[in-house]
A and B are shown apart, each in its own frame.
Chain A
């Protein structure tokens, strides 16, 4: 009986922990949205993608975004080759877009404006360290991939149009505010498109 009670108590504790994790994930979001620093990551309209437009491609229900600030010059590739991720310290450029201040191997101590990114060195260009941010996949719900495709083709295909992902960042925590394509919110575009459909 004692053994059974112990098992049930242990199960109750585990069940609570299982519920706590998703709850904590949700509860952390408003805090980051409130106190995080806003960064606008400019979509690279010149970068080629697997699809027919620049700067992004669709994978299932995600838009994979390619940002302008996603690499830095490095002197020695050997220093970075075996490292799979690094800390990216951010700042703003004169136009207000996100700029990489520095990339370090250790956690920054005196700033909250940093994010951990996956790093890799391209075999073709060994002088650049490439960074994959955890928010480079933008999830689109409520919309069919075909509608998203037409928006991306019109918006990102034109290099004169400026598109960016707005993200609030605080010590590796992030909150994606919106994807802006040529000055218009992606969410608004989706809503309009939904309403216009019979």
Chain B
């Protein structure tokens, strides 16, 4: 810390008093204790991950020549050593974040390793679902007890693996919904982390992990009314986008804003999927009777997400006293209109969906030009280019026409970038 080194010089030059010098040095000492060295934290967690993976490899390989009793003892030792380490850290140095995070993560892996070891030694081949559930339930308290973000991330990944196993195993009634309860457990700590340490690297990773896990698992709610998962997904991406675009997140660098990217990319991909006629073919076969809808998990999920999204819009309205009708913010609502139209006339819905993607691209182009942001302009161009690519798949256009379309989009990219760069250079001059 160069400032700390310069303090005696500043005091002797009479710029600051010795009291102020003492206060500054105390402040940095305090800061050092509460905020860990970022590099040390990353390497600590990487080390724990490697140790954890190493233990897993040993599990896979087994100690072939050892007798059963020794093998069993080893299975328990794999668990006892990290437990002891965690206990020691909790007792002696609970304020050391790197130690807390790495020992908790090692224990997380050790629990899984120990169960696998016992299963292999005693030929107990259980189901993947029950193994993952047991592992996750036994380790989730560590998130709070050890105050560990690394375990929280590993747990989120773990329950993501559990979700399909639960969906297809169904060892007991409603097992496929247990995943959603499991997902709620680390959320209070995530919100605390977001408030207390918004700029910590592990908080940033959470902002990516949560939208990733939700994107990967929402689809497991799909049962008979599969088509209703499209509105559910698009509303969820809308929520991600609005979260990523909120006042708090907007100030953050893009690398810390997984919500914004997941929200935007997810929305575009989904709109593009829906721009194909074939995607709507399930619509005619779907039973949209109220009695059937009310018990369909896809409908319930869409409804909950819709209420959530509406609350977010309302909350923003309360905050700013005005609604910014930005197309990217409300694209999910427009899609819902398209979807309702689709229940009556799928051809019209396909046309409207194509128009929506096109409008989204144009709006981004316009916004990019207005704000002189090349990245936004290119994203808008990319959206339009992707739409052209998609249409070239399912239309009967000749190769020449398709070729011309691609050339035009390519020229569009060049011209837009050239004009923008020219404008920026002119402004700078």
Contacts and interface: CB of A to CB of B under 8 A. Distances in A.
A22 B170 contact: no
Nearest to B138: A18
A4 B126 contact: no
Contact of A25 (B62, B64, B119): B119
A22 B65 contact: no
B276 interface: no
Nearest to A11: B145
Interface stretch (B37-45, B87-95, B249-257, B321-329): B87-95
Contacts, number: 88
B124 A25 contact: yes
Interface residues of B, number: 42
Nearest to B62: A141
B75 interface: yes
Contact of B122 (A11, A19, A26, A116): A26
A18 B111 contact: yes
Contacts of A12: 87
A26 B65 contact: no
A171 to B, nearest CB: 13
B64 A142 contact: yes
Nearest to B224: A82
A7 B138 contact: no
B84 to A, nearest CB: 9
Contacts of B139: 18
A141 B138 contact: no
Nearest to A144: B64
A15 interface: yes
A29 interface: yes
A21 interface: yes
A14 interface: yes
Contact of B141 (A8, A10, A25): A10
Interface in A76-116: 82-85, 116
B354 interface: no
Given A14-B145, A29-B124, A134-B127, A7 B90 contact: yes
A135 B124 CA distance: 8
B168 interface: yes
Contacts of A141: 62, 64, 120
B125 A22 contact: no
B90 A8 contact: yes
Which of B72, B86, B119, B168 has most A Cβ within 10 Å? B168
Nearest to B118: A22
A84 B138 contact: no
A14 B138 contact: yes
Interface in B93-149: 94, 107, 111, 114-115, 117-120, 122-127, 134, 138-139, 141-142, 145-146
Contact of A22 (B79, B167, B169): B79
Contacts of B120: 139, 141
Contacts of A18: 79, 83, 107, 111, 114, 138-139
A176 interface: yes
B171 interface: yes
Contacts of A17: 138
A178 to B, nearest CB: 10
Nearest to B137: A17
Which of A11, A12, A29, A82 has most B Cβ within 10 Å? A11
Which of A10, A21, A118, A135 has most B Cβ within 10 Å? A21
A61 interface: yes
B44 to A, nearest CB: 20
Contacts of B76: 19, 22-23
Nearest to A12: B87
A137 interface: yes
B86 A138 contact: no
A4 to B, nearest CB: 7
Interface in B151-174: 167-171
Contacts of B119: 25
B316 to A, nearest CB: 37
Interface string A1-43: 0001001101110110111011101100100000000000000
A85 B171 contact: yes
B125 A137 contact: yes
In order of increasing CB-CB distance, the 6 nearest A-B pairs are A84-B168, A22-B118, A176-B123, A14-B141, A15-B83, A11-B145
